[in-house]
């Protein structure tokens, strides 16, 4: 049987570039090369596309490559000395996080190119990336969300009940997020968030545990991994901003499986599936929620291309449910919408 020509795109121009590279390195370690012929494409922070041997040191020196937007020539075009070489692809696995990778941008480019790709489509990617829009859609489906408002830098904001969280509406990995305890801290927090997005979200602090659910599949048949619970000693969860996240966080520990009763665990999983469907997700996503003391499940956010690093939550939850990373990669690729 011929190997699947799998294009794997990583890196990107967002603040999550280093996380994406680490995710790609983990995929490289666990990819079954008996099944796949990987074609690695790294995107530098400046936006240059590089054909390389893998996501290891020096990949930025690879040959210049672009994605063909012409459906009659699907795949990659390698540009060299005024000529180009065509590399055909069967399917693309984006291993990108944040802006231009998780917001529908790369998905739109792949749609134009006529290439099948793993993960959520343009619409669901863009919707989940914007937390305020995701909240509106989730609320219309009867799912609880935090109370929130969106603001711009310099806008007067009154009538808040503190504490609140201030965050970029369209960013990830807790970049630009601040917990604000009083009005005197608000302007600085908005300015911090605005470094990552012109649209800033202010949302109420939800009293409860932070729990996550890894979802795999599309349509009516969804698979939910084990839940995790983020045990915090102080502050809030921001693992990707630690100096050495591989060795753990200074204020948080993920508990997998989550130490909550079986009936509540099932309720959280079903809520995660309902959120996934309401937002139009397909392929894979990690649904982050709050679980309050009275058992209410509240949406936090949805990550449509969750991290696949050695310390990432999504693969840990799937592994705890009996799906190790090599099998997870197979299932993600097999579930590609064509």
Catalytic pick among 240, 265, 273, 316: 240
Q: Any catalytic annotation for residue 99?
A: no
Q: Is 315 left (phi over 0), alpha (psi -120 to 50) or beta?
A: alpha
- Give residues with Cβ within 8 angstroms of 266, minimum separation 6: none
Side-chain half-sphere CA neighbours of 220 within 13 A? 0
Catalytic pick among 117, 135, 276, 311: 311
Q: Any catalytic annotation for residue 22?
A: yes
Burial class (CB in 10 A: 0-12, 13-18, 19+), 235: exposed
Q: Pairing mode, if any, of strands 209-218 and 63-67? A: unpaired
Q: Any catalytic annotation for residue 30?
A: no
The CA-based angle 307-40-36, given to 5 degrees, is 90
Q: Any catalytic annotation for residue 17?
A: no
Catalytic pick among 307, 316, 333, 335: 307
Beta strands in 271-331 (DSSP E): 283-291, 297-303
Task: Give yes or no for a contact between 13 and 47, defined as CB atoms under 8 angstroms apart.
Answer: yes
Catalytic pick among 81, 234, 246, 338: 246
Distance (Å, rounded) from C-alpha 32 to C-alpha 327? 9
Report the length, in residues, of the chain.
Answer: 338
Catalytic pick among 97, 99, 229, 273: 97
Q: Any catalytic annotation for residue 83?
A: no
Sign, CA torsion 18/22/27/29? positive
Catalytic pick among 11, 15, 16, 22: 22
Extract the tokens encoding 90: 């069967």
Catalytic pick among 17, 19, 256, 333: 19
Q: Any catalytic annotation for residue 311?
A: yes
Sign, CA torsion 169/161/207/223? negative
Q: Which residues are catalytic?
A: 19, 22, 97, 240, 246, 286, 307, 311
């Amino acid at each position: 049987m011929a190997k699947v020509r799998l294009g794997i795109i990583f890196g990107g121009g967002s603040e999550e570039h280093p996380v994406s590279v680490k995710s790609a390195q983990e995929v490289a370690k666990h990819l079954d090369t008996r099944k796949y012929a990987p074609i690695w494409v790294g995107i530098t922070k400046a936006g240059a596309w590089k054909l390389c041997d893998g996501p290891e040191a020096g990949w930025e020196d690879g040959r210049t490559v672009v994605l063909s937007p012409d459906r009659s020539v699907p795949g990659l075009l390698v540009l060299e000395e005024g000529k180009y070489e065509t590399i055909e692809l069967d399917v693309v696995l984006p291993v990108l996080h944040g802006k231009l990778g998780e917001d529908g941008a790369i998905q739109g480019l792949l749609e134009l190119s006529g290439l099948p790709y793993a993960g959520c489509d343009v619409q669901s990617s863009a919707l989940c990336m914007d937390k305020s829009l995701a909240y509106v859609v989730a609320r219309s489906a009867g799912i609880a969300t935090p109370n929130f408002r969106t603001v711009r830098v310099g806008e007067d904001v009154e009538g808040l009940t503190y504490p609140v969280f201030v965050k970029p509406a369209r960013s990830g990995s807790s970049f630009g997020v601040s917990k604000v305890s009083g009005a005197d801290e608000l302007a600085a927090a908005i300015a911090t968030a605005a470094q990552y997005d012109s649209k800033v979200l202010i949302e109420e602090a939800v009293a409860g545990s932070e729990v996550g659910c890894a979802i795999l599949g599309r349509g009516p048949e969804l698979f939910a991994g084990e839940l995790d619970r983020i045990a915090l000693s102080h502050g809030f969860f921001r693992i990707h901003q630690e100096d050495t996240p591989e060795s753990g966080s200074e204020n948080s520990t993920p508990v997998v499986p989550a130490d909550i009763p079986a009936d509540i665990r099932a309720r959280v999983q079903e809520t995660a599936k309902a959120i996934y469907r309401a937002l139009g997700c397909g392929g894979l996503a990690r649904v982050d929620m709050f679980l309050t003391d009275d058992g209410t499940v509240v949406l936090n956010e949805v990550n449509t291309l969750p991290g696949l690093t050695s310390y990432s939550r999504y693969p840990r939850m799937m592994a705890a449910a009996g799906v190790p990373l090599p099998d997870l990669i197979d299932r993600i690729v097999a579930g590609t919408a064509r």
